[in-house]
Amino acid sequence: MSPLHEKSPSAAPEISFAGPAEFSPSERALLLTLARESIASVLQHRPLSFPSFSPHLAEARGAFTTVYCRGELRGCVGYVLPEAPLYRTIAETARTAAFDDTRFPPITPAEFPDIRISLSILSPLQQIRAEDVEIGRHGLLISRDGRRGLLLPQVPREHGWDRITFLEQTCRKAGLPPDAWQQGATLEVFTAEVFGE
């Protein structure tokens, strides 16, 4: 599956959680260091070496990496579905967000000291009824007729959308009619643990 490009706010998003954080401070620091090293390895034309990772960080998980430069969004790319071990997904999405998000110019060596990285680690997808979608907690994936659209949990909150608007906008993101969520589309949700530098 190809990575998805996702719009993000211009500052690192903050997500509130119903439960405790899944990733410890040391795990967060390790993943952020890996993301930065992945970008540096491209700029320095050297291979990326992977340290050993705990079984937790080697689990297959979906994730998005967002790159900012001097406070401005410069790339956001990720995978919703668990395609590879988390550490490999972070390395790949960091590299792709920094250099291959076609909405922005690639990060340059001169800009590298000024970049900041934010990671969104996704929970597994769960099918849901429209009335159970929660603003500020759920990211949403809507699929129908081979089309799919995704919005991260922070998007409806930053735009002040209610649940119906969130559903309609995710349908539009998929290239579907805004009422497709009522017309046989599959609705799946996920939560995201978001942290950054």
pLDDT digits (tens, 9 = 90+) for 27-63: 999 999 999 999 999 999 999 988 889 999 999 999 9
* 197, part of any domain: no
Category of 29 on φ-ψ map: left (φ > 0), alpha (ψ -120 to 50) or beta: alpha
What pLDDT does residue 21 have? 83
Classify each residue of 88-107 as buried b or exposed e, where b means 16 or more C-beta atoms within 10 Å of its C-beta: bbbbbbbbbbbbebeebeeb
* 3-class DSSP state of 82: coil
- Where among 106, 122, 138 does a domain terminate? 122
Q: How many domains does the chain have?
A: 2
Helix (H) or strand (E) holding 195: strand 192-196
Least confident of 2-11, 99-108, 178-187: 2-11
Contact between 95 and 34 under an 8 Å Cβ cutoff? The reply is no
What pLDDT does residue 3 have? 52
Asked whether residue 95 falls in the same domain as residue 134, the answer is no
What pLDDT does residue 6 have? 46
Asked whether residue 37 falls in the same domain as residue 95, the answer is yes
125: its two tokens: 């997808």
Span 62-100, pLDDT tens digits = 999 999 999 999 999 988 888 899 999 999 999 999 999
- Where among 67, 97, 122 does a domain terminate? 122
Asked whether residue 69 falls in the same domain as residue 138, the answer is no
89: its two tokens: 């997904």
Helix (H) or strand (E) holding 27: helix 25-43
* 87, part of any domain: yes
Segments forming the whole domain that contains residue 103: 4-9+24-122
